[in-house]
Amino acid sequence: MENNVILETEGLCKYWGGLKALDNLSLAFHDKQLHGIVGPNGAGKSTLLNMLCGHYKPTSGEIIYRGESISSIKPFEFARRGIGRSFQKTNIYTNATCLENCCVAVQRLMGGSFNFFRSRYSQKMLDDIATKALEKVGLAHRRDYIASQISYGEQRQLEIAMVLATSPALLLLDEPMAGMGHEESQLIINLLNTLKKEYCIVLVEHDMDAIFELSDQLTVMVDGQHLVTGSVDEVREDARVKEAYLGQGDEVY
Amino acid sequence: MLFKKRAERLFMWVFFPLALLMPMFLEQNEYYVNKLTTIMILSIFVMSLDYLVGKCGLITLGHAMFYGLGGYLFVILAPEYEAVNFWVYTFYICAISAAIALVIGLLVLRTSGIYMIMITLAFAQMTFYYFSGSIDYGGTDGVFVYVKPETSIFGLSLFDLDNPTHFYYLCLLSLFNTLLFFKVLVRSQFGRVVDAIQVNPGRTTALGYNIFVYKLMSYVVASALGAYAGYLFTLQYGFVNPSMLSWTTSGTALVMLILGGIGSIYGAILGTITYEGLHYTLEHWTEHWMLFMGGLIILMVMVFKKGIAGFLEDLLEKRDGK
Amino acid sequence: MSNLLDIKSIHSLYGDSHVLHGISFSLEAGQTLSLMGRNGMGKTTTLKSILGLVTPRSGSVFYKGEDITSLATWQRMKRDIAYVPEGRGMFHNLTVKEHLQVAARASTQGIKAWDFDRVLNTFPRLKERLSNLGTQLSGGEQQMLAIGRALVTNPELLILDEATEGLAPLIRKEIWEVIRIIKETGISTIIVDKNIQVLQSLCDRHVVLVKGQVVMDLSAQELQSNLAQVESHLGV
Amino acid sequence: ADPNPIKVGVMLPFSGVYGGLGDATRNGLKMALQEHAGELYGRQIEFIEMDTEAQPSRAPEIANSLLNKERADFIVGPVHSGVAMGMIKVLKDKNTIMIIPNAGIDAATGPLCAPNIFRTSFSSWQPSYPMGKIALEQGFKKVITMSWNYGFGKESLAAFEESFESGGGEIVKKILVPFPKTEFQSYLSEIGTIQPDAVFVFFAGGGAVKFVKDYDAMGLKSKIPLLGAGFLTEGTLEAQGVSAEGIQTTLHYADPLDNPENQRFRRDYQTNFGKPSDLYAVQGYDTGLMIASAVKALKGDISDQGALIKALETTEVISPRGAFTFSKAHNPIQNIYLRRVENGENQVIKLAASALEDPARGCKM
Amino acid sequence: MDSTLFIVQLINGIQYGLVLFLIASGLTLVFGVMGILNLAHGSMYMVGAYLAWYFVQHTGSFALSAFISAVIALCIGVVVERTLIRQLYRRNHLDQVLLTIGMIFVFNALQSLLWGNDPLGVEVPEALAASIPLTGIIEYPVYRIFVAVFCIVVAAAMYYVINKTRLGMLIRAGESNREMVECLGVDISRLYTIVFAIGVMLAAVAGVVAAPISSIVPGMGEHILISCFVVVVIGGMGSIKGAFVGALLVGLVDTFASVLVPELSSMMIYVFMAFVLLLKPQGLFSS
Ligand SMILES: Nc1ncnc2c1ncn2[C@@H]1O[C@H](COP(=O)(O)OP(=O)(O)OP(=O)(O)O)[C@@H](O)[C@H]1O
Ligand SMILES: Nc1ncnc2c1ncn2[C@@H]1O[C@H](COP(=O)(O)OP(=O)(O)OP(=O)(O)O)[C@@H](O)[C@H]1O
Ligand SMILES: [Mg+2]
Ligand SMILES: [Mg+2]
């Protein structure tokens, strides 16, 4: 297994003043696997993702990507190395079409972003790649819709399409199913199921059904600290996890 | 297509042909030619501001700094009693302003929102006070440009800058080029990233763009064009004064811009014409023109929610809809 | 009229887009009502229309028999309504403590069942974050705060829009427990949530929206017998 | 008679800080031309008024409009030196007459002098130069000078220094305050510690009010005499109140000046406009007199610019400030008076210099 | 500079800073806390000074005049908010720029129509007209000390209200999410009307208080406006403490720059601001 680790953290810490949002976390993420992260609210999951994509700088510790420490590079360089992410709150270009949203992503790869004169509409190839990304998440029929006019679930799909359009090696997803109806959730679950065959995915989610169904590896965090990592079944039966996170029994009254 | 909106195309077809013919109607009256020239020059200035504010989301209250620099750089660089070449100095002034903008941009663009407004203002005020207090450049009284540049290219002289009509056409041409340039820039692949940054900088960074560089380049380009406008303004009457650099110049440009319609590029021309036109009319009509000017501005904010350009666009679209 | 809330044929629009097409339902005092529907069917818009955050083009809202359609939002809220908005509505420049202080008040009847301390005891997580600003909380913490902020107004009608969104399972249970408790004290609640099992056991009435229209309006028993149909409306 | 009116373009600030000055100047101008309406050989006067807003960058445009659009015969203005520069740029050597009713910038009748440019007010040099001698006469050896850091101020200080230092006085410190700053406290503290024999300042308008009040409030006035160019106490006395008492200034005019023209002028101005006249009204008035006399001399035909300039050059203006004539550079050769503020008025103490002519350095005319 | 002069200048700097804070206090409230970009703030300062002059002429009493001026300013504030500002809360910040620049024009025109363009002055009220000897031959006017104390009182009161009271929390909350405040059962628009009016009143009161130690001239507001923004921004938006510290720093920088680098002194506060913002891009005390 060791050989296909693409991202690792070593003793990663993030302190907000006195608060240890993340304390000494060492994890390894493997290629072509979906790594679920769960934990109570405020456990530091979003903080972790924010550091893995360069949005926050770690207080201490290392992030190692394909064997190279990247803790000190600029935020935008994370994406350039193939680390793509979606945000906890939908984060798209609301005033542009879905296609245009993806084009922005593709253009970074294709170059030409410093071209002052070449029309942005002149490159067929760019459009094609963007369309492919939309197809991948099942949004092809919304290609020319303005992003603010599609439904919430579709917006989340679009966000994933944008990340895919940057051809990442690694996807960091923060609660992609939040606020989504059953049907839409199912769509995303199916999507992730296919995507994890190609990418390494780190998924933070409170929807237990989804996370149990999808995860190859599952990490539980509590109060900034690592609790357990293991397969879904291992984690599910772990007494500490039940106490700290899942609680006893079902969520039904 | 470069001009997508109907209002925009209509404007292009009405304004430029009219502007082209204007001097023929005004032949007997040099003043109007001069006045229109000033409006063209101001439009270039306001347009460059529109690119910054409306397209890049970089609100500055220090754009007048470059307007003034355009003038002062000429005074500083050009020998006092010798006609220099217009094109060469255009290049010098734009290049030096761009270099200055690059340095200032490196500092200024680290902040955003109101903080950026204030820090750009700070730099503009510094230059304002520098030239206001300078002995060499006439202090608050300003300086004269005694000899205007000549405009030959390879010995072929097309314009005579001392001839108001020639100068008018030069400015009109500059305005047209600026408009076209910005339009192309906005539509370009670079423009796509700039759009993205304005709407959602966080997302754009997460896609792997170094947004600082794009902002910086936009800032540099707009500043250089602002300086070019200032250079033209200086040449028009051959007079430079620190008030070109004052924050009220920036503020007035902002007013023209908002009036015209932010982010529409051609709205800059509409805004400038409206503002200057109102100013001119009211001033000739009553000594208390400020009262009416203020009242009209307030009225326009209430009525034209997206500026005059936005109003036109809505009007034409509504007609199309029916 | 014994109904706490009566909504009569509300039509609401955003600009030109017609979102609600004549919504009507009512809520008896003390009842808990769930509002269900897929994404974008108009649940949030319905709630906002009740609160006056969206002005309906036509239709009316009665609260305790009084027509409140033309009242301002704050006047409606003054009648002991509390709202937990979708997206949490944090104040970025207020601390957690201030969020609760600024909202705290007794109900018009002078009831003060919920106060600062009780909220903190319910969500101990917030206790450690009292001096954090609203936007410096984790997603779930924000949600807790939003609920707490609604509770300290000691409402008679509590409106929750996806209030368990982003909460960990344990906390979610906690919230449902809280709602059960306040239900017992006679507080009415309108809940928008996607967990149909919980809603089923918790709510007295169920309203299902499809494309801005009420397609089903069921009592708890009726829901049992029509579950399949409801689920098909929700796409479960 | 020529049925076409004589067009007088008026380029003054009617709004903003200098608005009051513009207003008074215009009133004086109109009053003079009204009084002499009968001697203009039937020519009507048409005024075209433009608000400069004291904005130098607008000056060329407005001057241009008066020149080319209105085709004014005379352009009267401005108050502000920066605006004067912008105007001169457009009007120098053109076929209109520019008459400056206030702006003192030395260059206007110095390096930039031109046949068609006249000034009825003063050069910055004129009112300040005589004060140097007077300071010495009164026994002041060490003086601090102070003004805003702009042309008018610096030229005034230089003129004072010229005569003061050549007579053996010493300038112990020269303080230039950035224009238009009016926070003087720190400078006054400095003056208080240096304790010179006297202080010579140039300030005008609002700045003058603020300075004089602060100077008094800091307790300096009774200990270190305050001298100034006359603008310090011109149009500001009411606002300065008792703080101004005892201040000595030199200027080419003083309200209570005892001559029949002045008495009549002040009376008529008061009845015409319902408020007391001031220096700026006088300067406007004299501008009117000058225009009237030239028109009269040419029997109403002002079409020949050469003749017009000749007529203007040789005019003797019988002004409320006392009669004056024009130097070769077209600047008044006039008396300068020493005044002291007593009971809220600039009382004339004595003649500080009679028929003082600006050296017009740099004028090649 | 010897030590006595240094101390005198220190006092001058603090005194100037306090006055600056007073003038900027209304802006801190309206712009910093409520987030409304009111460029006409300086105009209200000017209006305050002119009103003070006018009523001192007619009543002879400074205190009475101050009171009447404050009330009038409050009314102006209410009217302006109700009729104009209110329409713009949902719109772009830049529209507020345009609107308030329009208001500057109107106020300037009205000032010129009502009171003319001559510089005016208000005498220091009798009771405060004394001076106390400071050092050497320099005296310090009692009125300036009174002004300093007044500024400190205003600062303390504002700090208390904004940071410690429910009212203050509501005002701040309103800046971040108006709708949500209304959902707490608070009439946010009335609250905002009142707070805006108080902001306007503070500007006018600053004009009144400053009238005896300044000259009342057209355009006096525009000069001070920028300084006010500098103060608010250096301190950090929305922070009363920040504005207070910012004002004192600007006062000190300006005073010492005047003495040490007189030619560049006007520039110095801008250099200072640029410096602060480069080190702390959100101002000194931003949250
Ligand atoms: N900017 C900040 N300043 C101070 N504390 C912060 C900041 N951002 C987050 N925190 C704190 O750090 C802790 C971890 O937050 P994080 O957002 O990572 O939690 P999370 O695991 O994503 O929780 P959730 O599931 O609720 O989203 C929280 O307790 C939060 O209050
Ligand atoms: N501000 C707005 N402007 C225009 N359209 C809007 C706006 N808000 C919502 N809509 C549209 O109105 C419809 C109903 O939205 P609403 O938010 O009420 O749905 P919902 O049932 O709450 O969905 P969800 O489960 O996703 O929260 C949607 O189609 C949405 O796109
Ligand atoms: Mg999170
Ligand atoms: Mg919703």
Q: Where are the domains of chain B?
A: 6-321
Q: What is the pLDDT of residue B321?
A: 61
Distance from CA of C65 to the nearest CA of E (A): 20
Q: What is the pLDDT of residue B136?
A: 85
Q: Which residues are paired to A63 by β-bridges?
A: A9
pLDDT band at E156 (very low <50, low <70, confident <90, very high): very high
Domain presence at residue C1: yes
**Least confident piece of the model among B156-165, D125-134, D211-220:** B156-165
Measured in angstroms, how far is the CA atom of residue E192 from the centroid of ligand 2?
29
Return d(Cα B189, Cα C160) in angstroms, integer: 44
Q: Using CA positions, which residue lies closest to atom 3 of ligand 1?
A: C136
**Averaged pLDDT for residues D13-38:** 92
Domain presence at residue C213: yes
Which ligand number lies closest to the CA of residue C39? 2
Distance of CA B273 to the CA centre of its chain: 13
Q: Do C74 and E170 touch (CB under 8 A)?
A: no
Give the pLDDT confidence of A88-115 residue by residue, as tens digits.
Answer: 778 899 999 999 999 999 999 888 888 8
According to DSSP H, which parts of chain B are helical?
6-25, 30-50, 64-77, 86-108, 113-133, 164-187, 189-199, 201-206, 211-237, 247-260, 267-285, 289-303, 307-321
Q: Do E121 and D15 touch (CB under 8 A)?
A: no
Q: What is the mean pLDDT of chain A?
A: 88
**Averaged pLDDT for residues E81-95:** 89
Return d(Cα E6, Cα E281) in angstroms, integer: 31
Q: Which of C124, C198, C196, C151 is nearest to A40 (CA)?
A: C124
Measured in angstroms, how far is the CA atom of residue C8 from the centroid of ligand 2?
20
pLDDT band at E139 (very low <50, low <70, confident <90, very high): confident
Domains in chain A, start-ordered, CATH in brackets?
1-82+168-252 (3.40.50.300), 93-167 (no CATH)
- Is the pLDDT at E175 greater than 60? The verdict is yes
Q: Does E115 touch chain D (CB under 8 A)?
A: no
Going by their DSSP bridges, the two strands D332-342 and D325-326 should be labelled as: antiparallel
Q: What is the pLDDT of residue E93?
A: 83
Out of E39, E91, E237, name the one closest to residue B114 (CB): E237
According to DSSP H, which parts of chain D are helical?
19-35, 59-64, 81-91, 125-137, 151-166, 185-194, 205-217, 237-240, 260-273, 279-297, 305-313
Return d(Cα D139, Cα D227) in angstroms, integer: 13
**Averaged pLDDT for residues A141-160:** 87
Distance of CA E120 to the CA centre of its chain: 20
Domain presence at residue C124: no
Count CB-CB contacts under 10 A for residue D42: 10
Measured in angstroms, how far is the CA atom of residue C103 from the centroid of ligand 3?
25
pLDDT band at D302 (very low <50, low <70, confident <90, very high): very high
Q: What is the pLDDT of residue A86?
A: 87
With touching defined as 3 or more inter-chain CB pairs under 8 Å, the answer for chains D and A is no
Under DSSP, the state recorded for B232 is: H
**Averaged pLDDT for residues D255-270:** 95
Q: What is the mean pLDDT of chain B?
A: 92
pLDDT band at A250 (very low <50, low <70, confident <90, very high): low
The answer to whether the bond into D256 is cis (omega within 30° of 0) is no
Q: Does E167 touch chain C (CB under 8 A)?
A: no
Measured in angstroms, how far is the CA atom of residue D236 from the centroid of ligand 2?
65
Measured in angstroms, how far is the CA atom of residue C205 from the centroid of ligand 4?
19
A207 lines ligand 1 (CB under 6 A): no
Domain presence at residue C3: yes
Q: What is the pLDDT of residue D1?
A: 66
Q: What is the ipTM of this complex?
A: 0.90
Return d(Cα C91, Cα E138) in angstroms, integer: 51
pLDDT band at A244 (very low <50, low <70, confident <90, very high): confident
Return d(Cα A171, Cα A86) in angstroms, integer: 8
Give the pLDDT confidence of A162-214 residue by residue, as tens digits.
Answer: 999 998 999 999 988 887 888 888 888 998 999 999 899 999 998 888 999 99
Q: What is the mean pLDDT of chain E?
A: 92
Token readout for C12 is: 């609401």
Amino acid, res. E282: Q
pLDDT band at A249 (very low <50, low <70, confident <90, very high): low
- Is the pLDDT at D352 greater than 70? The verdict is yes
Q: Using CA positions, which residue lies closest to atom 18 of ligand 1?
A: A44
Select from A15, A16, A51 the residue to mutate for testing ligand 1; criterion: most ligand atoms less than 8 Å from CB. Answer: A16
Give the pLDDT confidence of E229-247 residue by residue, as tens digits.
Answer: 999 999 998 899 999 999 9
- Those of residues 194-223 in B touching chain E at CB distance below 8 A are none
Q: What is the mean pLDDT of chain D?
A: 93
Q: What is the CATH number of the domain that holds C230?
A: 3.40.50.300
Query: What are the DSSP calls for D152-167, one per residue?
Result: HHHHHHHHHHHHHHHT
Q: Give chain C's domain count.
A: 1
Contact yes or no for B105/B213 (Cβ under 8 A): no
Domain presence at residue C143: no
Distance from CA of A109 to the nearest CA of C (A): 32
Q: What is the pLDDT of residue A3?
A: 61
Q: Does C141 touch chain A (CB under 8 A)?
A: yes
Helix (H, G, I), strand (E, B) or coil at A40: coil
E200 membership: H or E segment, kind and range: helix E188-210
**Averaged pLDDT for residues B88-109:** 96
Amino acid, res. A6: I
Q: What is the pLDDT of residue A112?
A: 84
Give the pLDDT confidence of D108-152 residue by residue, as tens digits.
Answer: 999 999 999 999 999 999 999 999 999 999 999 999 999 998 889
Give the pLDDT confidence of D62-81 residue by residue, as tens digits.
Answer: 999 999 888 999 999 899 99
Q: Do A41 and C39 touch (CB under 8 A)?
A: no
A226 lines ligand 1 (CB under 6 A): no
A16 lines ligand 1 (CB under 6 A): yes
Give the pLDDT confidence of B248-307 residue by residue, as tens digits.
Answer: 999 999 999 999 999 999 999 999 999 999 999 998 888 888 999 999 999 999 998 889
Residue E172: list chain C partners with CB under 8 A: 91, 93-94, 98
**Least confident piece of the model among B84-93, C223-232, D325-334, E58-67:** C223-232
Interface probe with D: pick from E215, E253, E255, E270, most Cβ of D within 10 Å: E215
**Averaged pLDDT for residues B24-39:** 86
pLDDT tens digits, chain C, 236 residues: what are they? 478 999 999 999 988 889 999 999 999 999 999 999 988 889 999 999 999 999 999 999 999 999 999 999 999 999 999 999 988 899 999 999 999 999 999 988 888 889 999 999 988 889 989 999 998 998 889 999 999 999 999 999 999 998 888 888 888 888 888 889 888 888 999 999 988 889 998 999 999 999 999 999 999 999 989 999 998 988 87
Which residue on chain A is closest to C14 by alpha carbon? Answer: A149
Which atom of ligand 2 is nearest the CA belonging to A153? 26
Domain that holds residue C235: 1-79+202-236
φ, ψ of residue E68 in degrees (nearest 5): -60, -45
Contact yes or no for A91/A159 (Cβ under 8 A): yes
Q: What is the pLDDT of residue A1?
A: 45
Domain presence at residue C148: no
**Averaged pLDDT for residues E260-266:** 85
Residue D101 CB-density burial (10 A; 0-12 exposed, 13-18 middle, 19+ buried): buried
Return d(Cα D129, Cα D317) in angstroms, integer: 23
**How long, in residues, is chain A?**
253
Helix (H, G, I), strand (E, B) or coil at B67: helix
**Averaged pLDDT for residues E31-60:** 94
- Is the pLDDT at A252 greater than 60? The verdict is no
pLDDT band at D105 (very low <50, low <70, confident <90, very high): very high
Q: What is the pLDDT of residue A253?
A: 46
